[in-house]
Amino acid sequence: MGKVHVFNAGPCLLPEEAIDNAIKALKDFKGTGVSVLSISHRTKEWEETMNECRALWKELLNIPDTHEVVFLGGGASLQFLYVAMNYLEKKAAYLDTGVWAHKALQQAQGIGEAYALACSKDKNYSYIPKGYEIPTDIDYFHITTNNTIYGTEIKEDMDCPVPLIADMSSDIMSRPVDVSKYDLIYGGAQKNVGPAGVIFAIIRKDSLGRVSRYIPTMLDYKTHIEKESMFNTPPVFSIYMMTETLKWLKSIGGVPEIHRRNVEKATILYNEIDRNSMFVGTAAKEDRSIMNVCFVMAPGKEGLQDEFMAFAKSQGMVGIKGHRSVGGFRASIYNACTKEDVEALVKCMQEFEQKNS
């Protein structure tokens, strides 16, 4: 079988170095003679890994001492509930920019008063709303920084007059982030920083304890800060793989370098979409994501969609089918996706154009 180029929206492509180290750890974790799948989370060897993972997060994102990092199970979808349980006292506002942003809002509405301050559903979430004013009488403002299904992204850290909470599941570690501007950043690991099975939460410590409701122990961020993410058995293997992925990221130059690479990859692919007579992009140009590149067949070429999908598959392209709500194609070019992968997709698109000219 020839080389495959993985563009899955998630779980993501992981660095080869991380996978190679995992293969060794599956047999023997840190010389213990025990597989990482069987290691007790109460051993000193595991505690060292957990501490290393937390330290890498703080170093790579320059996380200030005001914030703490925790690792939990349940996926980012469970975090939608965590957010409302820990922060919603009277009223909260959400920026509705896609399926996951809307689902986060719905979970909050099950806890208390929450509403969409602005929404881009009118154009199938193809842009990021602008020109709205954030009120000062809300408990927090929630944003989803990257929208995997629609290929839009908020690329800058906004100044916000109220506590700012962000779901960064699909663009964390892809660009520098000013963590000090956020009360909470959370997300699933499976886009940029590891396999499925673990979430990260970066929490401003003094932002907790402001709601009057009872918070179940397991849903209280304080619990997991105090117990250093080991109130119950953590997702050990997923955290191990996260650690190895972050070690790789540090080794190549950290977040500034991966951001440079990500912008370069996205520019190459968007330039081809804009040039190629077979395709058009679906996201507003000013809001295009550098993580998820969405495009469809050009007007008049729609009948060639299945043919291109089959051709791309024959050329080793994996995971480029668009989400059913958008159609077309989606290339997820997360951190471990290489420039060579993107160039292979561009070549495939060019050859298809030549075949159908």
Residues classed as catalytic: 100, 167, 191
Phi, psi of 292 (to 5 degrees): -125, 110
Q: E strands along the chain, which residues?
A: 5-6, 67-72, 91-96, 113-119, 141-144, 146-147, 152-153, 164-167, 184-188, 199-204, 279-281, 292-297, 317-318, 329-332
What is the bridge-based pairing of β-strands 184-188 and 199-204? antiparallel
Query: In sequence order, which residues have a C-beta less than 8 Å from that of residue 277 and are 6 or more positions away?
Result: 298, 301, 353, 357
Closest CA to 90 of 113, 116, 106, 115: 113
Structure tokens at 322: 């668009």
SS3 for 208?
A: coil
User: Euclidean distance between the first and final Cα of the chain, in Å?
Assistant: 29
